[in-house]
Amino acid sequence: MASPKSHVLISFFLSTLVVTAVTSETTCLNFQSIISFGDSITDTGNLIALSTPNQLPESAFPPYGETFFHHPTGRFCDGRLIIDFIAEFLGLPYVPPFYGSKNGNFEKGVNFAVGGATALESSFLEKRGIHCPNKNISLGVQLKSFKESLPLICGSPSDCRDMIGNALILIGEIGGNDYNFPFFDHTNIEEVQELVPLVISTISSAVTELVDMGGRTFLVPGNFPLGCSVIYLTLYQTSNKQAYDPETGCLTWLNKFSEYHNDQLRAELIRLRKLYPHVNIIYGDYYNALLRLIQEPSKFGLMNNPLPVCCGLEGPYNFTIGVKCGLNEVECCNDPSKYVNWDGIHMTEAAYKWIAEGLLRGPYAVPYFDWSCLSSEIKDKESLDI
């Protein structure tokens, strides 16, 4: 794997290429809806709808949802997600989950993201010895559900094409679980790295298919810095101080893996932009949007030690493997707005708010969103609400 310095150079080079290649093609669109695919980072209630009553995910129980909605909504967070802040910014309603609400009103958006989803098919991963707790919710399955639901959402083929063309299409974050499941089992990093081109190809194919259906604007996020995730900091805890970034306390080797995935994704998006110059394909830099919160937490009103979780139990990071937030014995912090990490895997509403701000206002969307055609009320909005 490349050195950290080489990753920086690669990222800079890719960013330069992106700006050079697509700035002239990026035009402002007044989005009429949001169409979303992904995993628990974006799930607004799909996993609950797909679960049996006796096997509900932790997101079905308090304190999930306590900060904003004041009750669990199926979001793996104490409040709003990145997609919720994007919807608010655009003046659209929160994007409803598709599964379990097929008679719902999807005129302003629909969400197919499911907690635990993978980019690759679960059967493919299982053949490689990678166990997927939730089956049949891959990116391909979500896309199939979308295509089958079009008669419910829009009606005629021309109406559907217009609807897709006027939507902001969010592809992910997806792919994180393809790596999480093997890493949770301490699979060798070389074996996990073999999945990266397959994950990237799957994401690219989804974008291509949606472009063919009329899609014109895509937000395709990269992966978060896995080495800053508390579940990994607990699973791979070591006395070797050299394994940690001295600035953040994150595991360096896992962050390098995330950088590797993100570099490959950015390169593929550049290829797609050249192939479809009439389409806006925006890379969402989730990695650096989150990392800055850990590097300079006080700048964002967060506590100085940003790694421990808000909802957890014991251990150096207030987290114990196998003891999930939502259980009676697990305590929740008094003020989630001061925390980055919510439950060991997912972030707090406060963290998601700052990530969304970095995407919508820059500099963590490449190329930047063009809001020139939107109302002055949106353009002049100083900050996302929280």
Positions marked catalytic: 40, 343, 346
Structural contact between residues 348 and 291, judged by C-beta atoms closer than 8 angstroms:
no
* Those residues with Cβ within 8 angstroms of residue 327's Cβ, 6 or more apart along the chain or in another chain: 58
- Of the candidates 175, 188, 206, 172, the one whose C-alpha atom is nearest the C-alpha of residue 128 is 188
Cα 11 to Cα 8, 117, 151, distances in angstroms: 5, 27, 41
Please count the CA atoms within 13 angstroms of the CA of 303 that sit on its side-chain side: 16
Distance CA 287, CA 292 (A): 9
- Of the candidates 39, 44, 121, the one whose C-alpha atom is nearest the C-alpha of residue 79 is 44
Q: What is the DSSP letter of 61?
A: S
Distance CA 246, CA 177 (A): 27
Bridging pattern class, strands 167-171 and 217-221: parallel
Tokens for 70, please give them.
């004041």
Exposure class string for 290-304: b at 16+ Cβ within 10 A, else e = bbbbbeebeebebee
The C-alpha R_g of the chain, in whole angstroms, comes to 20
Tokens for 224, please give them.
């978060």
3 state DSSP class of 107: coil
φ, ψ of residue 66 to 5 degrees: the values are: -65, -30
- Of the candidates 168, 56, 69, the one whose C-alpha atom is nearest the C-alpha of residue 110 is 168
Residue 314, number of CB atoms within 10 A of its CB = 11
Please count the CA atoms within 13 angstroms of the CA of 37 that sit on its side-chain side: 26
